[in-house]
């Protein structure tokens, strides 16, 4: 496979992916693609498998059937001749290096200062020198507006500040794809804006692929190239934000958007 | 006989008790980590061995363990041509350490398992190897959780050292027994010994508190 075809391939591809928790089918033969540099937002009712898509990509959940491709390579499998075998830990680590994830509950390392949260993985995993990691860490803190908090511990920060550190921490590993799993759902309403602003500025970088699960519909409309409406483990409808938000074709999509956009009706 | 004349031999005994406590607590802490993590291992051999160790040493009396190591092991060693005779100090330290290590191992296992799984997921997302995840993310958060129980175990251990007087080791309890046999002054001797153990326990507790504060210093930042 040469580079030219490689860049035209979708960077993420779900091919008939099935995920079950016990008897409950979370992803039902899901087909889903994301192009390089594309910003895609997944919306849908809870339990529709939105977060599961991100968690499968981050290798936090295994799949039961189908194949997931990242950058043209199977994620949970390894090519063995013409067939696919389950991925080794080594393969998973190689694939993971392309992805970064921002968690709903931030999941910062509480025993490390803010700056150390940003430098630990680059130093320990990528083998970057401490000085270089610190320099890059401070640049990222500047980007998220937290240089003055570098030596504090996560518990000394507000939720919004913690989530901005969470974003910077994921970026420190220089991923090609950023996964945002309901990044503002755990925040007090007045802190949501500062986090969305950081994500918005990232969306302007056209090299970075972004996959976002959120309930912030207005924000999704602003930053996304495409909106995917998930229902019962499948994509019920997808399209440009204007299409989905102003003229959804599916009755199910209309009902969902009405419920989240005008909850008082 | 004046009670002050008891102080010199009792102090000698107390010093032996201190040494026994320090060595066996450190060695026991090491056992606790090795077998506590061993019990969490995916390697069935390591896991099985750790579980067996923990259950055997928690399920039998320390006194019997001590006698077994000091009296039975040398005879078994003789039978297979090995010299397994240990000086009383070594037998005492090893028995105490293995005993406290078995209890400590359960504390280590529990504290490691109590680290939220979100931390594990964040470390995985940042592509840490499982070894680095353990050393850099899990243990630094688990160790402060272990400390209060470790403090209790250390004091327990200090008190358990009295049993080694039964293999003729000259610790505080042994000296006390000697003086009592000689003077028949039970009240004075045992009262003194009571206070000496209590004093040592206070110092030990303070040391463990300092250690606890040190390993969990990040929790107190800004508070």
Query: Tens digit of pLDDT for each residue in A82-110?
Result: 888 899 999 999 999 999 999 999 999 99
Give the minimum alpha-carbon distance from B142 to chain A in angstroms, rounded to a whole number.
Answer: 10
For chain A, helix (H) and strand (E) counts, in that order, are 10, 12
Mean pLDDT of the A145-162 span: 96
The answer to whether the Cβ–Cβ distance between B219 and A103 falls below 8 Å is no
* Residue B206 confidence (pLDDT): 97
| pLDDT band, very low/low/confident/very high, at A7 (cuts 50, 70, 90) | low
The answer to whether the Cβ–Cβ distance between B219 and A110 falls below 8 Å is yes
The answer to whether the Cβ–Cβ distance between B219 and A108 falls below 8 Å is no
What is the residue-wise DSSP string for A49-70?
SHHHHHHHHTTSS--SEEEEEE
Strand A83-86 with A65-70, pairing: unpaired
* Residue A6 confidence (pLDDT): 55
The answer to whether the Cβ–Cβ distance between B132 and A110 falls below 8 Å is no
**CA nearest B143 in A: which residue?**
A111
Asked if B220 has any chain A CB less than 8 Å from its own CB, the reply is no
Q: Is the pLDDT of residue A4 over 50?
A: no
- Collapsing DSSP states into helix, strand and coil, what is residue A51? helix
Global pTM reads: 0.89
Mean pLDDT of the A130-143 span: 97
Asked if B219 has any chain A CB less than 8 Å from its own CB, the reply is yes
Residues of A with CB under 8 A from a CB of B: 58-60, 89, 93, 96-97, 99-101, 103, 105, 107-112, 120-121, 124-125, 152-153, 155-156, 169-170, 173
Nearest by CB to B127, from A60, A112, A125: name it. A125
The answer to whether the Cβ–Cβ distance between A111 and B125 falls below 8 Å is no
Percent of chain B with pLDDT strictly greater than 70: 99
Q: How far apart are CA A213 and CA B109, in angstroms?
A: 35
Q: Is the pLDDT of residue A9 over 60?
A: yes
Mean pLDDT of the A140-168 span: 96
Kindly list the residues from chain A whose CB atom is less than 8 angstroms away from the CB atom of residue B142. Answer: none
Which B residues 93-132 touch A at CB under 8 Å? 118-119, 121-130, 132
Domains along chain B with CATH numbers: 8-219 (1.10.3720.10)
* Residue A229 confidence (pLDDT): 95
Query: Tens digit of pLDDT for each residue in B181-215?
Result: 999 989 999 999 999 999 999 999 999 999 999 99
Query: Tens digit of pLDDT for each residue in A244-261?
Result: 999 999 999 999 999 888
Mean pLDDT of the A175-202 span: 94
The answer to whether the Cβ–Cβ distance between A58 and B218 falls below 8 Å is no
Q: Is the pLDDT of residue B53 over 50?
A: yes
Q: Is the pLDDT of residue A205 over 90?
A: no
Q: How many CB pairs under 8 A join A and B?
A: 67
Give the closest residue to B217 by CA, choosing from B155, B116, B151, B141: B141
The answer to whether the Cβ–Cβ distance between A125 and B222 falls below 8 Å is no
* Residue A263 confidence (pLDDT): 72
Selected for mutation to probe chain A from B111, B115, B127 (highest A CB count within 10 Å) is B127
Percent of chain B with pLDDT strictly greater than 90: 84
Give the minimum alpha-carbon distance from B143 to chain A in angstroms, rounded to a whole number.
Answer: 11
Nearest by CB to B222, from A89, A112, A156: name it. A156
Query: Tens digit of pLDDT for each residue in B113-138?
Result: 999 999 999 999 999 999 999 999 99
The answer to whether the Cβ–Cβ distance between A60 and B121 falls below 8 Å is yes
**E strands in A147-225:** 177-181, 209-213
Q: How far apart are CA A237 and CA A244, in angstroms?
A: 8
* Residue A2 confidence (pLDDT): 45
Q: Is the pLDDT of residue A3 over 50?
A: no
The answer to whether the Cβ–Cβ distance between A156 and B119 falls below 8 Å is no
ipTM reported for the complex, 2 dp = 0.91
**CA nearest A179 in B: which residue?**
B125
Judged by average pLDDT, the poorest of A181-190, B122-131, B161-170 is B161-170
Kindly list the residues from chain B whose CB atom is less than 8 angstroms away from the CB atom of residue A110. Answer: 141, 218-219
**E strands in A160-200:** 177-181
* Residue A265 confidence (pLDDT): 61
Fold of A12-261: Rossmann fold (3.40.50)
User: How many Cβ atoms from other residues are within 10 Å of residue A79's Cβ?
Assistant: 11
Expressed in percent and rounded to 5, the helix, strand and coil fractions of chain A are 40, 25, 35
Kindly list the residues from chain B whose CB atom is less than 8 angstroms away from the CB atom of residue A93. Answer: 127, 129
Average confidence score pLDDT of chain A: 92
Helical H runs in chain B?
A: 7-40, 44-59, 62-67, 73-79, 88-114, 117-125, 130-132, 139-160, 172-183, 186-215, 217-220
- List all residues 6 or more positions away from A26 whose beta carbon is below 8 Å from its beta carbon: A19, A20, A47, A49, A52, A233
Percent of chain A with pLDDT strictly greater than 90: 85
Nearest by CB to B125, from A58, A105, A112: name it. A58
């Amino acid at each position: 496979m040469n580079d030219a075809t490689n860049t035209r391939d979708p960077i993420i591809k779900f091919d008939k992916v099935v995920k079950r928790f016990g008897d409950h089918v979370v992803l039902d033969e899901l087909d889903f693609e994301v192009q390089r540099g594309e910003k895609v937002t997944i919306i849908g009712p809870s339990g529709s498998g939105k977060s599961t898509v991100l968690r499968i990509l981050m290798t936090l959940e295994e799949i039961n059937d189908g194949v997931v491709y990242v950058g043209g390579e199977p994620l949970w499998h390894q090519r063995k001749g013409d067939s696919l075998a389950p991925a080794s830990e080594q393969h998973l680590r190689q694939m993971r290096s392309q992805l970064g994830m921002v968690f709903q509950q931030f999941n910062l390392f509480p025993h490390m200062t803010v700056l150390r949260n940003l430098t630990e993985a680059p130093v320990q995993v990528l083998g970057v020198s401490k000085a270089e990691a610190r320099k890059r860490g401070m640049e990222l803190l500047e980007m998220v507006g937290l240089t003055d908090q570098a030596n504090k511990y996560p518990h000394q920060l507000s939720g919004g500040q913690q989530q901005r550190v969470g974003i910077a921490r994921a970026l420190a590993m220089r991923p090609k794809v950023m996964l945002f799993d309901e990044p503002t759902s755990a925040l007090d309403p007045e802190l949501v804006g500062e986090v969305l602003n950081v994500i918005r500025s990232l969306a302007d970088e056209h090299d970075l692929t972004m996959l976002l699960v959120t309930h912030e519909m207005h924000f999704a409309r602003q930053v996304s190239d495409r909106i995917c409406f998930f229902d019962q483990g499948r994509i019920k409808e997808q399209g440009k934000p204007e299409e989905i938000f102003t003229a959804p074709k599916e009755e199910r999509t209309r009902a969902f958007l009405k419920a989240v956009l005008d909850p008082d009706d | 006989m004046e009670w002050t004349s008891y102080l010199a031999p009792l102090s000698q005994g107390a010093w032996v008790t201190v040494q026994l406590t320090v060595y066996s607590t450190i060695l026991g802490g090491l056992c606790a980590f090795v077998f506590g993590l061993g019990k969490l291992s995916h390697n069935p051999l390591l896991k099985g061995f750790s579980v067996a160790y923990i259950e055997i040493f928690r399920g039998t009396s320390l006194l019997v363990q001590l006698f077994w190591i000091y009296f039975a092991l040398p005879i078994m060693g003789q039978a297979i041509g090995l010299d397994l005779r240990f000086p009383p100090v070594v037998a005492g330290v090893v028995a105490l350490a293995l005993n406290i290590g078995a209890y400590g191992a359960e504390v280590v296992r529990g504290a490691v398992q109590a680290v939220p799984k979100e931390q594990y997921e964040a470390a995985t997302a940042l592509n840490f190897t499982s070894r680095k995840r353990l050393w850099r993310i899990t243990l630094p958060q688990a160790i402060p959780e272990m400390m209060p129980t470790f403090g209790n175990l250390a004091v327990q251990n200090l008190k358990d050292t009295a049993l080694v007087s039964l293999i003729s080791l000259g610790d505080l309890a042994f000296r006390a027994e000697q003086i009592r046999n000689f003077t028949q002054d039970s009240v004075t001797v045992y009262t003194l010994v009571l206070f000496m153990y209590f004093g040592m326990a206070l110092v030990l507790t303070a040391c463990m508190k300092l250690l606890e504060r040190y390993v969990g210093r990040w929790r107190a930042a800004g508070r």
